[in-house]
Amino acid sequence: MPGLLSSPVCLTVVWFLSWSLRPSCAQIWTNEVSDVQFGRLGSNVTLTCGKSNIRTPAVWHLNRSSALPWHKVRSDGALVLLQVNHSAQGNYSCSDSQGLLLHSINLRLGHPPGLLSISCQVPNHAHVRCSWVEPVKTFLPAKYNASFRGTGQEWTPCVVNVARKHCDVDHPAFWSSMHTLRITETNGLGSETTFIQFQLHKLLKPDPPQSVSVMGIEGYPMRLNVSWDYPSSWPRLPAFPLIFQIRYQPLGSAYWSEINSEGTTVIICDALAGHLHQVQVRARDEVNPETQWSEWSPVLPVWPWSVSTTPDPEEEDFFPFSTKPETSTAESHNVVPEDGGNLGLVILLVLFSVVILTTVFSFIFAVWVRQKRRNHVTKQELTSMVKMKSMPI
Amino acid sequence: MKLLLDSSSSLLFSLLLAQLPVFTSGSPVPQRRTTEMDKLSNQTKNLLKLTQELLKDHAFEADVEPHRFRSLPEMSNRSANDLNNLELKPTLSQLHSDLKLYEHHFEWLNRVSKKHHHPAVPKLVEMIREIKSLISLLHRQMKFVKVETPRLTPVAPSLPPHLPYHFDVLQSSHELLQHFKLFCDWAYRAFISLKPKVTATAVQ
C-alpha cells in the first residue's frame, strides 16, 4: 500500500485533484467575504440575498450580530437599509431559517466623486506637478486618470500618484498659449471629470535658492557677503537665467532693504555696524517678469565684522531705531570689495576738479586779457583819430 | 602781451588734452563688448516688454483659447529640452522666417486697427518698427555666420482685409500678442543659448 501511494501515477492524481479543488474553495471563500456593494450615504440601500429564491424568510446579520441599523426586509428576502449612515457599513450576511449561509456582502458607504480642486506647481520649464483635493470627502477608494495637453496638442498622460493625489508631466510643451489638465476620478458610485486651464509661464515658480551663506567681511563693519546657489530643481543652462532678490534688515527693524542680482553673490555695503542682521534670498525667472518669485530662503542671522570679534549678547535684542532704512533696488553683479579703488576714484575726482577749475580760470583769464588788449587797441585808435582831427589840414 | 596770450592758449589746449584720458577712463563700470548676439537678445527682450505692455492695455480679463490664427509659427511643440540642443544655422534661419510671419501679421493688425481707430495703433507701429529692426539685426548675423537667407520668402498667409466688429480687432490683437509674447520668450532663450556657438563659429 505505501508503495502504491508513493507511485508516480498516484501522486499525479493526488496533485491534480488538489489543484482542481483549490480554486473552487477559494471562490466560495471569496463569495463569502468579498462581494462588495457601494451605497450612497443618506440614501436607502438594498442588499439582496444572492440569486437564490428563498422560500423561507431570510435572516440578516451585520458583522455576525443580529443588531441591524434602521431597516426593513422585503418579501423576497432583500434587506433595505433606510437613510444609511457610517454605522451601517460592514459585512452583511443572509442565511435561511436553518442558519445556512446564503450570501454575504461587504457594504461600503460614501459619496460619488465631485469636482476636484486642482493646483499645479511649475518649478522649472521641464516639469509640472498638479495636486488635487476633494472638496467633499467621498470615503471610498478611488482611481484617477489624468491627462495633459497644450493648445492644439494631443493628450499626454499625467503620471498619477494615487496615495499623494498628484500627477507629473515631464517636458511639457511649455510655450503653448494655453494648457489643459483633465482628471477623471472614479469610485464605486460613479465618476467625474474635472478640467482646469492655465498658462504654464504664469505658474512658473522656482524653488528658493540653496546653500545661502552670509558672513561679515574682515575690516569692514558695514559690509556683509551673501552667496547662494541655484535651486537644484532649476537647470543651470544659459537658456534659463534666474534673477535673485536679497533682502536684509537689522534684527528688530520693521523694514527690509533689497538688492537685485543676476549673479550668485553680492556684497551688502550699508549694514548697520555692530547689529545682528537677518538675510534672505529668493529667485525668479530672469526672462519673463510675469513668472512668480520663489519663496524666501530661510532667515539667516549674521553679525557684521567688528573690532571685538565676540558680539555682546546684550546687543542681540533689538534694533534701536524705528526709522525706515533706505531701500535699494539697484542691480548688482558680483560686487567685489574695492576700497582701494574707491580711494583712487576720490583722488581722481579731486584731480579732475582741480583740472576743471584751472581750465575755467585760464579761460576767464584769456578772455580778460583779450578784452583788455582790444580795449587798449580801441583806445589807441581813438587817440590817433583825435590826433588826426586836431591836425591842421 | 602776445607771448602771454600764446602761452595761455597753449596751456588751455594742453589742459584739454590732459583731460582726454580722464574722460575716456572715467566710466565706473568697465564696458563689456556688446556682440551682435547680445544686440539680438536685447532687442528680443525689448519686444517682449513692449508686447506685455500692449497686453496690459487690453480689456480682456480672461485668457482666451487661441483659435483665430492658424498661420502663426508653431509654438506648442517646443519644450525646454529643445533649447539645450539648438543648432546655430537652422535656428537662426527658423527665427528669421518666424519673425517675417509675425511682421506680416502685425502689419495686417495695424491696417485693420486703423480702420477701427483702435487706440493701440501707435504702439503697433512701434512694434512693427522694432520687429523690422530685429529682422535686420538677425539678417546681419546670418550673413556673419554664412547662413543663406531664403531668397523666396514663403507665401504670406491670407488674412481677411477687414474685421467687421471692433471686438474682432480686440480678440485678434489679444491672440496675436499672446502668441508673440511666447515667441519672444523662446527666441530670447534661443539667442542667449546660441551665443557661445556663434563665438565658436567666428573662431573657426
Domain A117-203 has CATH 2.60.40.10: yes
Closest CA–CA distance from residue B147 to any residue of chain A (Å): 22
Are both A31-109 and A117-203 of the same fold?
yes
In this predicted structure, the answer to whether residue B15 has a pLDDT above a threshold of 70 is: no
Contact B75 A359 (CB under 8 A): no
Chain B residues within 8 A of A287 when measuring between CB atoms: 45, 48, 185, 188-189
Rounded CA separation A250/A256 (Å): 8
> Which residues lie across from A185 on neighbouring strands?
A144, A192
Per-residue pLDDT of chain A (393 residues; tens, 9 = 90+): 444 444 454 444 444 434 433 333 323 333 344 589 999 999 999 998 876 565 567 889 998 888 888 888 888 888 999 999 999 999 999 888 888 888 899 999 999 999 999 999 999 999 999 999 998 899 999 999 999 998 888 999 999 999 999 999 999 999 988 899 999 999 999 999 999 999 999 999 999 999 999 999 999 999 999 999 999 999 999 999 999 999 999 998 999 999 999 999 999 999 999 999 999 999 999 999 999 999 999 999 999 998 865 554 444 444 444 444 444 444 443 333 344 445 566 677 778 778 888 888 888 888 887 887 776 655 565 555 545 544 544
Q: How far from the centroid of its chain's Cα atoms is residue A307's Cα?
A: 42
Q: What's B55's domain CATH number?
A: 1.20.1250.10
Per-residue b/e over A196-213, b at no fewer than 16 CB within 10 Å? bebbbbebbbbbbbeebe
Q: What is the extent of the structural domain holding B183?
A: 34-203
Smallest Cα distance from B192 to chain A, Å: 6
Cα dihedral sign for A264, A265, A270, A275? positive
Instruction: Flag whether residue B65 sits within 8 Å of chain A, measured between CB atoms.
Output: yes
Which residue matches cell numbers 508653431? B74
State the DSSP H helix or E strand holding residue B25, giving kind and residue range, or none if neither: helix B2-25
Cβ <8 Å between A237 and B84: yes
B49 to chain A nearest CA, in Å? 9
Q: Do A238 and B190 touch (CB under 8 A)?
A: no
**If we measure between CA atoms, which residue out of A230, A219, A373 comes closest to residue A304?**
A219
Q: How far apart (Å, rounded) are the C-alpha atoms in residues A189 and B114?
A: 58
The model's pLDDT over B26-51, given as tens digits with 9 standing for 90+, comes to 444 444 456 888 999 999 999 999 99
pTM recorded for the entire structure: 0.71
Q: Which three cell numbers stand for residue B145?
A: 555666420
Closest CA to A167 of A196, A198, A146, A150: A146
Interface check for B189 against chain A (CB to CB < 8 A): the answer is yes
Count of domains for chain B: 1
Provide DSSP, B131-143.
HHHHHHHHHHHHH
CB atoms within 10 A of CB A82: 12
User: Which of A174, A334, A345 is the mutation pick for testing B, counting most B CBs within 10 A?
Assistant: A174
Q: Which residues 76-95 of B are in CB contact (within 8 Å) with A?
A: 76-81, 83-84
**Could you write out the DSSP letters of every residue in A214-280?**
EEEETTEEEEEEEEEE--TTS--STTS-EEEEEEEEETT-S--EEEEESSSEEEE----TTS-EEEE
Residues 6+ apart with CB under 8 A from B176: B69, B72, B105, B106, B109
- Please report the DSSP string for A305-349 in residue order: P-SSSS--GGGGS-----SPPPP---EESS----HHHHHHHHHHH
Q: Please judge whether A363 and B189 are an interchain contact, meaning their C-beta atoms are less than 8 angstroms apart.
A: no
The CA distances from residue A105 to A70, A91, A267, in Å, are 17, 6, 72
The answer to whether B195 contacts chain A (CB < 8 Å) is yes
Buried residues in A272-303 as b, exposed as e (16+ CB within 10 A): bebbbbbbbbbbbbbbbeebeebebbeebebb
**pLDDT (0 to 100) of residue A339:** 42
In chain A, where are the structural domains located? 31-109, 117-203, 210-339
ipTM over 0.95: no
| Chain B residue numbers touching A235 (CB-CB < 8 A) | 80, 84
For residue A161, give how far its alpha carbon lies from the nearest alpha carbon of chain B (Å).
24
What's the half-sphere exposure (Cβ side, CA atoms, 13 Å) at A28? Answer: 6
> What is the per-residue pLDDT for A3?
45
Per-residue pLDDT at A346: 65
- Is B19 among the domain residues? no
Q: Do B52 and A289 touch (CB under 8 A)?
A: yes
For A210-339, give the CATH class. Answer: mainly beta
Task: Chain A: give the shortest CA distance to residue B8, in Å.
Answer: 6
- Give the DSSP letter of residue B166: H
Residue B154: the pLDDT is: 60
Could you give the angle at which helices B88-115 and B166-203 cross, rounded to 10 degrees?
160
Sign for the pseudo-dihedral over CA of A206, A207, A210, A213: positive
Q: Examine residue B134 and state whether it is found in any structural domain, yes or no.
A: yes
Chain A hits for B189, CB-CB cut-off 8 Å, are: 239-240, 287
Residue B7 covered by a domain: no
Give the contacts of B191 (CB within 8 A, at least 6 positions apart): B37, B40, B41, B44
A170-211 pLDDT, tens digit per residue, is 999 999 888 999 999 999 999 999 999 999 999 999 999 999
Q: Which H or E run includes B50? A: helix B36-56
Contacts of B8 in chain A (CB under 8 A): 362, 365-366, 369
Q: What pLDDT is recorded for position A325?
A: 46
Which sign, positive or negative, has the C-alpha torsion A53, A58, A60, A65?
Answer: negative
Please check whether residue B159 lies inside any domain of the structure.
Answer: yes
Q: What is the pLDDT of residues B54-75, one digit of tens each?
A: 888 765 555 555 566 777 888 8
Q: Which residue has the cell 567666428?
A: B202
C-alpha cell at A321: 531705531
CA–CA distance, A260 with A281 (Å, rounded to integer)? 10
Q: Which residues of A touch B183 (CB under 8 A)?
A: 175
CA B131, B136, B139, B140 torsion-angle sign? negative
For residue A376, give how far its alpha carbon lies from the nearest alpha carbon of chain B (Å): 12
The pLDDT of residue A369: 79
- For domain A31-109, give the CATH number: 2.60.40.10
The three cell numbers of residue A43 are: 440614501
- Please tell me whether residue A144 adopts helix, strand or coil conformation: strand
> Which position has the grid cell 491670407?
B158
Residue A384 has a pLDDT of 55
Comparison of pLDDT for A20 and B17, the residue scoring more = B17
- β strands within chain B, DSSP E: none
Question: Terminus-to-terminus CA distance in chain A, angstroms?
Answer: 181
Which residues in chain A have their CB less than 8 angstroms from residue B198's CB?
A: none
Helix%, strand%, coil% for chain B, nearest 5:
70, 0, 30
Q: What is the pLDDT of residues B132-177, one digit of tens each?
A: 999 999 999 998 887 777 665 566 667 777 777 777 788 888 889 9
